[in-house]
Every structure is written in C-alpha cells, then in structure tokens.
C-alpha cells in the first residue's frame, strides 16, 4: 500500500491525504489544471511508447526527428506532430535532470534491450525480458575460473550483504516467461560486467508464471548464484568465479594453445623413445646389506673382549637410568610449580571467607532431648544435600528456610573422611546458630542433624555475607582436589627418584627394572584425575593467573 501511495502521488501530481486498507483519498491541489483533450488524444495515440518520469511529465525516449516526419510526407503543423515535438522536448529535459550515475545506468539498459513501458514501479524503466530472443544458436554456459585461494561458496555474512545491496537497487529486467531465456541470459552476462548482482522483477497479472522455473533455468544458463527468489523478484549473484567475456575468450584460447603444445610434445616424445633392456645381473649388489657388514667387520673390524662387552652394557644401562632420572626430575619441577600456583589460588579464594567462631551464649540440650531429636532427624525424609562445594552461604539459607516450618533439619554430606565431616558440622553450627545433635553414618553418606533451639529467632539476612558463594565454593573445592592430587603425584615422583638413584650404584642387577621405567610407568593413577581437574579448573574466569600446560 505504501508503494501504491508513492505511485499515485508521482503519476497524478496530487497528495494522498488519507488511506486505510485498500482505500485512498487523493487531493488534487489548489493549482490543479485539467489536461486538454488534444493532449489526452495524443497520449492515447502514443500509449505504446509512453514513459513517466519522476516529475510527472510524459516523454517518449525514441522519437523520430521533425525532419524525418516531414520527409515521410506528414505535415509539421499537425497537432499530433506538435505533441510529439513537445514530448521529445520533455524527454530531453528528463534526461538532463538525471544524475551521472542514473544516465550511465540508463545507457547500460538501453544497450541490453527494449524497455518495459507498463512498469508499475518508480524510477528508470527495466528491460522487457520477454522481448529478448528466446533461443540463440550456439549459446553455451560462460567460461568460469575461480582465483587461487578463494572459496567458491558464499558465507552467511556475504549472502546477507549482497541481499542488502540488491534491496536498494532498481530492477534491471521484467520477466513473465517461464522458459527459453537465452537472450535474457546473454543480457545478464553483459550486465554482470558492470554489476555484481542482477535484479529481475516478475511481471504481475500474467497467468501461469512460475518464479521457481525462471530461477532454475537462469541459474543453469548463466552459472550464477541465486540470492533471492519470491513471487516479486529474482536476484542472482554472478559468483566469485565470474570472468568477463574478453578475459574468458583469452583464457579459452590459451588453454587450447596449451593442449596443442602438450599434444605435440607427447608425439615427439613417443617418436624418440627407444626401448632399452637393462642387463640383468645374477646377484644383487651387496651394498647396505648384512653380508657387507660382516665382510667389512672381518676385514677391518676389531674383536671385542667379554670385559669390554660387559662395560658397554653397563654404560648403556647407566645412561638409560640417567635419562629416566632427568625426565622424572623435570616432571617433579613442573609439578612443584603447579602446586605453588594452586596454593596461591586456594589462599586467594579462602581469603574472602571469614568463618564465625563459637557463640558465648550457646544454648544446651539434655541427653534425653538429644536422643529424641536424633531419632526424629533420622526418620525425616526431607534433607539438605551437602556436596563437594562444602559449606557456603546457600546451605545456611536453606537451613533457615527449613527451620521456618520445623525444628529439626537434616543434612547429608557426601564427604568420605570423618574428620572433614566433623569440621563441616562445626562450621555449620557456628554459622547457623543451631545446635548440632548428632553425626550418623547412613547409606547415602553422613547425616548431620541440627536443632534450631528454643529461643530461635530468624535473622534479618538468612544468607550470610562472610561465607563463599556457590561459584566460589566450587572453585575452592576444585582447587583443593587439585592441590591434593598434585601433592600425591609429587610424593610418588620422589619415591621413584629415590629408587632410581639407588639403582645407579648397581645398574647391572636391576637392568630390566631400570629399562622399564618410562613415561607411562612414571605416571601415577592420580595423573588422569589431575588432568581432569586442571581442564575444569582452567575453564573458570578466575584462573587467568594459572598458565596453561
């Protein structure tokens, strides 16, 4: 509807003052002058060739000169000829009002074919593709050559940019025929030498138009890349391997010349080739064989005594053991550096955690109450999980939320060491303000039972600020695991070093053992876990201080 709005204002010279849906009200203006009947009749006579420009005036692009009209026997004073002269003047005025780019574009379209005078759009008229030749004898798909190092396919960004470029371009052709587009394909190839894309408008009001058939045949004839196809427009890109006509002819000629040269060279080579039979020797040359080695050893070699042989074996074993020791020492140095960085990061994370101490006014419970609370807590189905993160602010918040409706809260810890479980239980007691009832072993782990107390008052902020957040608690857990794995790895390397250094004193006794110490044997069972911890640890944002391995 917006396009119709612009077309009505451009062609009538009026002003659209209101529109709604398919209804439009146009104001003619205070200075409106009704066109004369002579102008209307002359316009009707010249309707096959009328063209509207942006100023609203009518002009004929191809009008014969007055001299030609007089020479044909017509009267120069007739109203029809007078009107033609006026239209030719308007045409020249329209051309003068165009910019240099529009004039160049108009000349380019003039060289491609006749214009589509019933164009419904604005701007310069496109070429009528239906008036171009349907079949051209000897037409072939153009020669294409992709430059070296360039990808033939378009990326998504390139496709988007070309579509945006084609959106602002005027239409080059108007097409209503589904098949036989040889003339249109030739015009498109000529246009591609000046433009990257060609924009074809599908004619409206023509029955049985199929834009899919049009696009497929044009793509097959030109070899371009289809950018856009709908019931209104077809946009085709010339492709990265497009070659202008003059360059394509030169390349094709050079290829034919190269083939002729290769053919002549092959002929000459076949004429001068003479088959010669190689003299077959009865025995192979002994160069580089074991027999040659034994012969040279017998002629120039020196026999090795058993004592020298044993010394050589001992030196070889000692050198192997020395290389293994140096390799282990290098790995130990790397592990020590990683351990120091892990300790530094762990101390940095724990610096933001300020745990609370035991309260001076701690409420106590009797043994009978403790036994009752323990039995109630073990029977409770609802519990809070305490995973690898340990104690953080979210755990204390969940405990206070549980105490809102019940006096007992049960936590199940996944930690396997009892000492760690007891430390976590005491920290939870200090931070929550509750009373630790019992620590019991259950199938899922360790159950921690807390009683909120008789004088319990819910704090204003149920999430403490002095503990770690959930993310930092996970980083702390990973850092602790990494520290433990590195410590075990270093301890095993030290034991291996001591054993290898003791074998250096008498390498002949344990020759098989020293040769079996390699990289795969030195790596302990903790190394796969260590690499797994490092991969997850280095993926965090706070691990910028740790260098990648």
Q: What pLDDT is recorded for position 56? A: 40
Q: How confident is the model at residue 318 (pLDDT cuts 50, 70, 90)?
A: confident
Q: Which residue has the higher pLDDT, 314 or 65?
A: 314
Q: Give the residue-averaged pLDDT of 339-365.
A: 87
Q: Which residue has the higher pLDDT, 304 or 548?
A: 304
Q: Which residue has the higher pLDDT, 56 or 222?
A: 222
What SS3 string covers 460-474? Answer: CCCCCCCCCCHHHHH
User: Do 239 and 200 meet the contact criterion of CB atoms below 8 Å apart?
Assistant: no
Q: How confident is the model at residue 519 (pLDDT cuts 50, 70, 90)?
A: very low
Q: How confident is the model at residue 529 (pLDDT cuts 50, 70, 90)?
A: very low
d(CA 161, CA 154): 11
- Evaluate whether residue 430 is within a structural domain: yes
Encoded tokens for 206: 């023509």
Instruction: Let me know whether 106 and 163 are in one domain.
Output: yes
Handedness of CA 55, 56, 60, 61 (dihedral sign): positive
Q: What secondary structure letter does DSSP report for 49? A: G
Q: How confident is the model at residue 41 (pLDDT cuts 50, 70, 90)?
A: very low
Instruction: Let me know whether 114 and 211 are in one domain.
Output: yes
- Evaluate whether residue 424 is within a structural domain: yes
Q: Give the residue-averaged pLDDT of 283-291.
A: 71
Q: What pLDDT is recorded for position 482? A: 93
- Evaluate whether residue 286 is within a structural domain: no
Instruction: Let me know whether 116 and 3 are in one domain.
Output: no
Q: How confident is the model at residue 363 (pLDDT cuts 50, 70, 90)?
A: confident
**Is the per-residue pLDDT at 48 higher than 70?**
no
Instruction: Let me know whether 86 and 166 are in one domain.
Output: no
Q: Give the residue-averaged pLDDT of 25-54.
A: 58
Q: Pick from 254, 243, 252: which is nearest to 145 by CA? A: 243
Q: What pLDDT is recorded for position 426? A: 92
Instruction: Let me know whether 11 and 24 are in one domain.
Output: yes
User: Do 199 and 171 meet the contact criterion of CB atoms below 8 Å apart?
Assistant: yes
Q: Pick from 342, 352, 357, 355: which is nearest to 471 by CA? A: 352
Instruction: Let me know whether 392 and 249 are in one domain.
Output: no
Q: Give the residue-averaged pLDDT of 218-234.
A: 92
- Evaluate whether residue 220 is within a structural domain: yes
Q: What pLDDT is recorded for position 34? A: 79
- Evaluate whether residue 540 is within a structural domain: no
Where b means 16+ CB within 10 Å and e means fewer, 106-136 reads bebbeebbebbeebeeeebbbbbbbebeeee
**Is the per-residue pLDDT at 517 higher than 50?**
no
Q: What pLDDT is recorded for position 79? A: 47
**Is the per-residue pLDDT at 207 higher than 90?**
no
- Residue 509, number of CB atoms within 10 A of its CB: 11
d(CA 209, CA 175): 9
d(CA 395, CA 402): 11
**Is the per-residue pLDDT at 117 higher than 50?**
yes
- Evaluate whether residue 67 is within a structural domain: yes
Instruction: Let me know whether 227 and 251 are in one domain.
Output: yes
pLDDT digits (tens, 9 = 90+) for 367-389: 999 999 999 999 999 999 998 88
- Residue 94, number of CB atoms within 10 A of its CB: 19
Q: Which residue has the higher pLDDT, 215 or 298?
A: 215
**Is the per-residue pLDDT at 13 higher than 70?**
yes
Q: Pick from 360, 368, 382: which is nearest to 449 by CA? A: 382
Q: How confident is the model at residue 75 (pLDDT cuts 50, 70, 90)?
A: very low
Instruction: Let me know whether 159 and 246 are in one domain.
Output: yes
Q: Pick from 468, 470, 461: which is nearest to 433 by CA? A: 461
Instruction: Let me know whether 195 and 248 are in one domain.
Output: yes
Q: Which residue has the higher pLDDT, 277 or 474?
A: 474
Instruction: Let me know whether 253 and 373 are in one domain.
Output: no
Q: Give the residue-averaged pLDDT of 148-174.
A: 90
pLDDT digits (tens, 9 = 90+) for 85-110: 443 444 444 555 567 888 888 888 88
Q: What pLDDT is recorded for position 90? A: 44
Q: How confident is the model at residue 442 (pLDDT cuts 50, 70, 90)?
A: very high
Q: Give the residue-averaged pLDDT of 123-151.
A: 88
**Is the per-residue pLDDT at 538 higher than 70?**
no
Q: How confident is the model at residue 364 (pLDDT cuts 50, 70, 90)?
A: confident
**For the packed helices 79-97 and 37-45, what is the interaxial angle rounded to 10 degrees?**
80
Instruction: Give the domain extent around 51.
Output: 35-95
Instruction: Let me know whether 90 and 233 are in one domain.
Output: no
- Evaluate whether residue 395 is within a structural domain: yes
Instruction: Let me know whether 90 and 211 are in one domain.
Output: no
pLDDT digits (tens, 9 = 90+) for 481-513: 999 999 999 999 999 998 888 877 654 454 454
Q: How many domains does the chain have?
A: 4
- Evaluate whether residue 188 is within a structural domain: yes
What SS3 string covers 350-394? Answer: HHCCCCCCCCCCCCCCCHHHHHHHHHHHHHCCCCEEECCCCCCHH
**What is residue 108's three-state secondary structure?**
helix
174, burial (CB in 10 Å: exposed 0-12, middle 13-18, buried 19+) = buried
Mean pLDDT in the chain? 79
**Is the per-residue pLDDT at 535 higher than 80?**
no
Q: What pLDDT is recorded for position 412? A: 94
235: CATH:
3.30.110.60
d(CA 141, CA 188): 12
Residues 6+ apart with CB under 8 A from 339: 483, 486, 487, 490
Q: Give the residue-averaged pLDDT of 305-328.
A: 88
């Amino acid at each position: 509807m917006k396009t119709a709005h612009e077309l009505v204002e451009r062609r009538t010279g009026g002003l659209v003052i209101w529109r709604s849906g398919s209804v439009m009200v146009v104001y003619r203006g205070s200075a409106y002058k009704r066109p004369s009947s002579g102008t209307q009749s002359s316009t009707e006579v010249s309707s096959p060739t009328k063209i509207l420009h942006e100023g609203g005036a009518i002009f004929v692009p191809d009008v014969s000169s007055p001299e030609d009209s007089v020479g044909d026997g017509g009267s120069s004073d007739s109203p029809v000829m007078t009107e033609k002269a006026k239209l030719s003047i308007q045409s020249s005025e329209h051309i003068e009002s165009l910019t240099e780019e529009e004039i160049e574009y108009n000349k380019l379209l003039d060289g491609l074919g006749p214009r589509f005078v019933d164009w419904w759009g604005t701007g310069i008229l496109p070429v009528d593709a239906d008036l171009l030749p349907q079949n051209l004898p000897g037409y072939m798909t153009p020669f294409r050559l992709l430059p070296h190092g360039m990808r033939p396919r378009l990326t998504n960004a390139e496709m988007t940019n070309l579509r945006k470029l084609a959106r602002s371009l005027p239409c080059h052709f108007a097409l209503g025929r589904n098949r036989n587009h040889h003339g249109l394909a030739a015009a498109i190839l000529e246009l591609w030498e000046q433009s990257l894309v060609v924009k074809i408008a599908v004619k409206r009001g023509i029955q049985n138009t199929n834009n899919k058939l049009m696009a497929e045949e044009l793509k097959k004839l030109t070899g371009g890349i289809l950018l856009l196809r709908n019931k209104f427009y077809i946009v085709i890109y010339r492709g990265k391997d497009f070659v202008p006509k003059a360059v394509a002819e030169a390349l094709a000629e050079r290829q034919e010349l190269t083939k002729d040269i290769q053919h002549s060279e092959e002929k000459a080579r076949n004429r001068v080739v003479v088959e010669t039979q190689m003299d077959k020797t009865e025995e192979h040359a002994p160069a580089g064989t074991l027999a040659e080695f034994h012969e040279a050893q017998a002629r120039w070699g020196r026999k090795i005594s058993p004592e020298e042989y044993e010394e050589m074996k001992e030196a070889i074993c000692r050198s192997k053991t020395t290389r293994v020791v140096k390799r282990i020492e290098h790995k130990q140095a790397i592990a020590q550096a990683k351990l120091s960085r892990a300790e530094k990061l762990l101390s940095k994370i724990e610096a933001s955690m300020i745990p609370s101490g035991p309260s001076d006014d701690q409420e106590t419970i009797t043994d009978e109450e403790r036994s009752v609370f323990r039995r109630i807590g073990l029977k409770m189905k609802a519990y809070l999980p305490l995973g690898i993160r340990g104690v953080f602010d979210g755990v204390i918040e969940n405990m206070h939320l549980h105490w809102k409706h019940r006096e007992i809260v049960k936590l199940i810890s996944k930690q396997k060491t009892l000492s760690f479980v007891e430390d976590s239980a005491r920290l939870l007691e200090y931070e929550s303000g509750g009373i630790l009832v019992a620590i019991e072993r259950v199938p899922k782990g360790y159950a921690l039972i807390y009683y909120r107390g008789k004088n319990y008052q819910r704090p204003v902020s149920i999430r403490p600020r002095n503990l770690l957040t959930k993310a930092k608690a996970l980083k702390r857990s990973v850092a602790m695991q990494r520290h433990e794995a590195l410590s075990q790895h270093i301890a095993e390397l030290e034991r291996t070093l001591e054993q290898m250094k003791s074998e250096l004193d008498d390498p002949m006794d344990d020759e098989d053992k020293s040769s079996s110490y390699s990289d795969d044997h030195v790596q302990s069972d903790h190394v796969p876990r260590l690499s797994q911890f490092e991969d997850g640890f280095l993926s965090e944002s706070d691990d910028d201080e740790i260098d990648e391995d």
